[in-house]
Amino acid sequence: MRIIDFRNGLEPERLSLLVRQHSDEARKWEERVRSIVTDVAQRKDEALFAYTRQFDGVQIGSETVRVTREEIAEAVRQVDPELIAVMRRALEKIRHFHERQKQNSWFESNPDGSMVGQKITPLDSVGVYVPGGKAAYPSSVLMNLVPAKVAGVPRIVMATPPGKDGKGNPVTLAAADLAGATEIYKVGGAQAIAALAFGTESIPRVCKITGPGNRYVALAKKAVYGTVSIDSIAGPSEICILADGEASPRYVAADLLSQAEHDELAASILVTTSMELAQNVLLEIQAFTRTLSRKEIIQQSLENQGKIFVVRTLCEAIEMANEIAPEHLEILTKNPFEVMTKIRNAGAIFLGAYSSEPLGDYYAGPNHVLPTSGTAKFFSPLSVDDFVKKSSILYYSREALQSVHTDIIRFAESEGLTAHANSIRVRFPEEKNETGEGADENN
């Protein structure tokens, strides 16, 4: 991790190059992923099970691909009851937060006999992908399933890779059961995304796919977009900490490292007005790293994507944070609430010394599925809105249409769409058009 001095002025082009160094990394994998997706779309179960044998080393068939209630019960028995209790408490906070996001259908009636409105309908089905292997990510299970449940989605499917024993990770299965998954399948990777998108003999297709995964999963979601909806193409995790000279270097270092341990491409960035803080943070990082379990990953991550930017003023620091548009933004300044009002681009904003990023990852309630790689400039966190669709409603009586029909005819004819104009005109056969001819009701 190195310090980069911007006290001579901000350079947006240089900043972009320094922050985004992995944007082209995935392109070389796209062809391989597309071939897997196409194969599963065509050969369905046959291809799905073949790739599961190839990549996971597990023999799965139509009789064993779906997790049974007995398997779930066995998984729950294997999980520490205290962890189950923690997950229940986190689930309640996540549910409460997302309940506040719910929208109702609405209708507006006007005195002229017209009515307009919007109908909110849950998606029929959603597929949630949860990574497997050696690690378990129950927090991702809760963050994806709970908003779908709150939205009222009736069919919530989870796909997760099997372990070498052919079973799902017990903690993942327990979390899915708590959160209300209706079906769970033991498949992973690009082949799982393809199965959810196109359907196979064993896995009926879904309407939308959400959830994190490796580069194969991310590229598979990109490949099936349009066949189904997706949440986003997630890049490596990232944190930006905006700090003044009063921030604790120990806290800043610990929070930067909390992102660096995700993987070698995770970005940990500090933007500060204090060179003294920058130098002290480096010392704290060195001390912490020696004791952390994912030391090698952290060191590689900081070497690849770790940056400390020192700027002249707090206004410049805010400008830089908005340009970075980070997934997670921590504000460790004298008045974080005032600074927050000037932030335009961030997936999630954490205010003050005791609101560190892992609080959002696990427990506080806001969703941790966030826009990455600068896409917070135009994307939002996963929410209840991602699991509903909206239909516009309109009704006009004859009297209401008559009062505006000439406007519509004129508009349509200005675009050369005479059939559109005629669709309105035929409803008023008693009136003459501009040529003096009456409209024929049979036209």
Active-site positions read 327-328
Sign of the torsion formed by the C-alpha atoms of 196, 199, 202 and 204: positive
How many Å apart are CA 312 and CA 173, to the nearest integer?
50
d(CA 160, CA 212): 11
Query: Do 418 and 443 form a contact (C-beta atoms < 8 A)?
Result: no
